[in-house]
A and B are shown apart, each in its own frame.
Chain A
Amino acid sequence: MKLIIAIIKPFKLEEVRDALAAAGVQGMTISEVRGFGRQKGQTEIYRGAEYTTSFVPKVRIELVVPEGQAATAIEAIQTTATTGTIGDGKIFVLDVAQAIRIRTGELNDDAI
């Protein structure tokens, strides 16, 4: 099993979700996060006082997929989340030791 963490532009979320669903992904968790990479922050001005926010809003997607589905899911995210400009985000892939479905106690691939 692989844990895929993708940090993407917030407005790309629906597109990515649809692509993952089409690729057969059963579920995911998303959160609104802030961070920085190569993309510069934004400047806000209140009555002349200028503040540069060094963190920009992003959406983090987490999903766990069986070994065989990982490549398809990663490709689905990468192709839909891209706009070709800086700030498109990153995808990280980790090995998962165990997965348990809370309701039934099913394990690993059955639990995903």
Chain B
Amino acid sequence: MSNNHNGKVLGWGALGALLLLLLPTAALAQEAAAAAAPVANKGDTAWMMTSTILVLLMILPGLALFYGGLARTKNMLSVMTQVGGAAALAMLVWVGWGYTMAFGDGGNAFIAGFGKALLKGVTPDSTAATFSEGVVIPEYVFICFQMTFAAITLALVLGSVVERIKFSAVLVFGVVWLTIVYFPIAHMVWAGNGLFFAMTPAALDFAGGTVVHINSGVSALVACLILGKRIGYPREPMPPHSLVMTGIGTGLLWVGWFGFNAGSALEANGSAALAMINTFVATAAAGLAWLLVEKLFGRKPSALGFCSGIIAGLVAVTPAAGNSGPLGAIILGVVAAFFCYLAVTFLKPKLGYDDALDTFGIHGIGGIVGALGTGVVYAATLGGPSDADYDMGAQLWVQLLTVATTIAWAAIGTAIAIFVAKLLTGLRVKEEVEREGLDLGEHGERAYNH
């Protein structure tokens, strides 16, 4: 278990026996590979294909409904199209140059080499390593699994800028942002020669707390600060137009998140099972904790609060999924719900930024709580899977460095990507379009005709 620090860190590597040389635990595998090329286990392969599709379910329709319900009636289709369009774009870019930048051969601490651009050299016989010696999955499955992560992360960022950003701006921003922010961070955290994995001890990020959540949350904050507030915010009421859809989206996200977290074990095994139970209990704890916090602040326990708590718990348990015991995961969920509640209820109005659907408040803050908390709950003394001589202080320092680097990288890269989009597309819709709604103004349709 102690090898399972990072959900995907070893996955990039053993695409061939040669690459295994680069891995810290490669000595035995090298011998095994020399004896006979490992064959993918059908059970693992089936599970990873399933997990990949579960992550797709998180985006479409999960995130599209979750975000769409939180928007106003006049922007429902715009939100769905932006989420779907961004995800589709990310899939193509991933095949083009994303995979090779994140997980290709060679490269440095920040990006991998470009040898696998357009998936050059990958065949149905190519394999990707898992965490167990001699156990592999087809490389195409690994590519698809990772592709869905790039897709959902870009789609998440959009939560802060919806209801006013142009669709064309989303596409331009997406290409630039994936290239200069997502692929490098994915490489740094998950590739064997990546910056964070090369640290001692290696940063703990099982399924993408930094890569997906801190990254998308901070990027969302920077993007909405540059883009500006929606007309009328916060003076005019902008309540969610359908919490039913948000609720349906929440359910789909939770279900899909089992692919996201348990799939990050890369095998159908005990580590995946640990990630699975944690994805249940951290989420359950966070959903109820949010309602309790509302109660403590004199509010009613709200449906949106329950949904928000669920997402906060899922976000926080992401880096900890295979790196915590169930009790640690429950505590992590409760703490995340508390901090995310404070962020969306008090921090946002106080600072006055218009993070429309609270991507920063939930993914950014929840991601930071999760990344730091993982360093705590990993400890064997708290039921985590660490070795007995676990040095929590050293681990927390690495976690903190990872968080800080991700925040800085995401902030700078997002600023650049937004300015490129502004230069090429104008970034923001005209005032009439924003007032009338982006559904009509940008897409020529209405979500509801009755």
Q: Which residues of A contact B (CB under 8 A)?
A: 44-49, 51, 53
Contacts and interface: CB of A to CB of B under 8 A. Distances in A.
B349 A49 contact: yes
A47 B311 CA distance: 13
A54 to B, nearest CB: 10
A44 B308 contact: no
B139 interface: no
Interface in B336-356: 341, 344-346, 348-349
B304 interface: yes
Contacts of B361: 47
> Which 10 pairs of residues, A with B, have the shortest CB-CB distance?
A48-B345, A51-B237, A47-B344, A46-B239, A46-B304, A51-B239, A46-B240, A48-B344, A44-B239, A45-B299
B441 interface: no
Which residue among A44, A46, A47 has the maximum number of chain B CB atoms within 10 Å of its CB? A47
A106 B269 CA distance: 81
A46 B240 CA distance: 8
Contact of B349 (A44, A48, A53): A48
A48 B346 contact: yes
Nearest to A48: B345
Which residue among B234, B300, B305 has the maximum number of chain A CB atoms within 10 Å of its CB? B305
Contacts of B434: none
6 contacts: A45-B302, A46-B302, A47-B304, A48-B346, A48-B348, A49-B238
A21 to B, nearest CB: 30
B347 to A, nearest CB: 10
B205 interface: no
B34 to A, nearest CB: 57
Contacts of B304: 46-47
Nearest to A51: B237
A46 B242 CA distance: 12
A47 B308 CA distance: 8
A34 to B, nearest CB: 14
